[in-house]
Amino acid sequence: MIKVGIIGSTGYAGQELVRLLLGHKEAEIVWYGSRSYIDKKYYEVFGNMFEIVDAACLDDNMEELARKADVIFTATPQGLCASLVNEEILSNVKIVDLSADFRIKDVATYEKWYGIEHKSPSFIEEAVYGLCEINREQIKGKRLVANPGCYTTCSILSLYPLVKEGIIDPNSIIIDAKSGTSGAGRGAKINNLFCEVNESIKAYGVTSHRHTPEIEEQLGYACGKQIMLNFTPHLVPMNRGILVTAYGNLNGKYTYEEIKAVYDKYYANEKFVRVLEKDVCPETRWVEGSNYVDVNFKIDERTGRVVVMGALDNLVKGAAGQAVQNMNLIFGLQEDMGLQQAPMFP
């Protein structure tokens, strides 16, 4: 039984980790970390856990946690994980960091986009980027995994085969992404009140969202060069779900079958990436509550572009689900353990 500690268990991603791990037959949560709700029963924060989780929330105590747990998930704001890790901790416990601290290899890029100093640059090199379908082999056995961002996972998995195979010009890529509101976190902010979000849609972080360099770095690895692209996130009045609509200039003329073959090459054997049938557009309703990413594409012969679409649940494949998938890989478990439930609809 793998003993799990969660730092930041009272955010939306933290709570989703709890939900998923309760259904994982080889994992057991031993630490519900939450600075905001210390000593409060976890079910008082999340009523769905009444009579299911009896534990109370604990303050962050990294040393004690490293002794008690086999793996720690940090579902915390940027900077916290980097401030907590050190060699002794990492020699005792595996860490799956759901924040951005170890996602970007270049410290300067991290510090520029996030506006904070990195506290543990020496561990960046060691950390593996936990996009399971791409870096599966490197994740196995690792002690520090940087769990990818929600927008990032959806964007990269949607575009990866086309970039990797040189089908599109990576510098022509435009990613227009739409997210449910749980992506904005559980902080008490006026802009996230029901009446402010409901019946509205808006872009935010235009040209400056922090997932941009993360996407550029990973897609850059895929094509072997530095790239720059546009990424625009939007807030949608729904709880869960991310839809990515991406545009790229085709490097030549391609048939549907040719591009479909490229997607199949990478994803035909991937359980969690579903390449939809021709002309079927991904919809977030079909992945809710599950670890699936639905992707598809449409060639526009008129303009010489391809429109790529991807949909996932931002709290599952975009956060907690992929973190569990990473845990499974680290510990050599069946990769989909605890992640086998079908999407819930409606």
Among 153, 146, 203, 83, residue whose Cα is nearest residue 313: 153
Q: Which CB, 45 or 85, lies closer to a copy of itself?
A: 45
SS3 163: helix
Smallest separation, CB 186 to a copy of itself (Å):
6
Helix, coil or strand: residue 222: helix
Q: Angle, to 10 degrees, between the axis of helix 150-164 and the axis of helix 256-267?
A: 120
**Residue 219 · residue 156 · CB < 8 Å:** yes
Work out whether strand 144-146 and strand 230-235 pair parallel, antiparallel, or are unpaired.
Answer: unpaired
CB of 245 to a copy of itself, least distance (A): 5
Least distance from C-beta 80 to a copy of itself, angstroms? 20
- In the bound state with a copy of itself, the residue whose beta carbon lies nearer, of 70 and 288, is 288
**In the complex, minimum distance from the CB of residue 55 to a copy of itself, in angstroms, rounded to a whole number:** 14
Q: How far is the CB of 242 from a copy of itself (least distance, A)?
A: 9
Closest to 241 (Cα-Cα) out of 175, 289, 312: 312
Q: Which is nearer to a copy of itself, 160 or 297 (CB)?
A: 297
DSSP 8-state secondary structure symbol assigned to residue 286: G
Alpha-carbon span 86 to 335, nearest angstrom: 28
Closer to a copy of itself at the Cβ: 127 or 287? 287
Comparing CB distances to a copy of itself, the nearer of 126 and 301 is 301
Q: How many residues does the chain have?
A: 346
Residue 57 among the catalytic residues: no
Distance in angstroms (rounded) separating the CA atoms of residues 218 and 113: 16
Catalytic residues: 150
